[in-house]
Amino acid sequence: MTTKKFMMVNRKAPYGTVYALESLEVVLIAAAFEQDVSLAFLDDGVYQLKKGHQTKGIEMKGFEKTYGALEDYDVTKLYVDEESLAARGLNADDLCVPVEVMSRAAIGKLMEEQDVLLSF
pLDDT digits (tens, 9 = 90+) for 66-89: 888 999 999 999 999 999 999 999
Helices (H), 18-79: 19-32, 64-69
pLDDT digits (tens, 9 = 90+) for 99-120: 999 999 999 999 999 999 999 9
pLDDT digits (tens, 9 = 90+) for 58-68: 666 667 788 88
- Identify the structural domains of the chain with CATH numbers, from first to last: 5-119 (3.40.1260.10)
* Beta bridge pairs of residue 106: none
pLDDT digits (tens, 9 = 90+) for 15-55: 888 899 899 999 999 999 999 999 999 999 999 999 877 76
Model pTM? 0.92
Of 2, 1, 4, 3, nearest to 117 by C-alpha is 4
